[in-house]
A and B are shown apart, each in its own frame.
Chain A
């Protein structure tokens, strides 16, 4: 069974204080690892997909990295508008249509204070 564990559950930062969120996973053959951002009362918003160990993706103040067991979302010099819940999900290599299922972690609630 695919499992995704995110840590910490909650993180409070001061504006400009860089940090990292962790996503550890177990999956029988990784097809892709996804990061999403979710604002209160809204649906998750796609950020990145990572496919293989060593891969990195960047978008503004966010950088996602991937190893064989975990992924990190690095936030550099965060701003209050980066406050949100960040979700990690894995997609396993499987047969047929289940190839496209995502298994989500419970998320990290990030708060950036001005």
Chain B
């Protein structure tokens, strides 16, 4: 089982450049989300989706766009990169509904904006 796959693992961008972080899951999870993790700040929610065609903002959505055209994929787009977006980005997915459903996380993308 691949689980949640994130690409790339590392990326360096110049200020003002745009890019897309890819996230794919093969577990047929309805719920997908993007978090950023910064030292001393913990994991903060950027955007999330409860199914294809449905997305919503989290705690820190500014500067990021998402779309969900399929159940499997949930790409995160940085529109115009800024040094404040230097972070480690994690994609996570889960079933919806009741039950002992923890999130499954990807291995992360470490992004540096110079």
Chain A interface (Cβ within 8 Å of chain B)?
34, 36, 41-49, 87, 89, 96-98, 100-107
Contact = CB atoms under 8 A, between A and B. Distances in A.
A57 to B, nearest CB: 9
B102 A106 contact: no
Interface stretch (B14-22, B48-56, B70-78, B79-87): B48-56
Contacts, number: 61
A98 B106 contact: no
Interface of A is mostly: mixed
B-side interface size class: 20 to 34
Given A42-B107, A43-B106, A104-B35, 14 more contacts: A41-B108, A43-B92, A44-B92, A44-B103, A46-B104, A47-B102, A48-B102, A49-B101, A89-B43, A100-B50, A100-B96, A103-B45, A105-B42, A107-B42
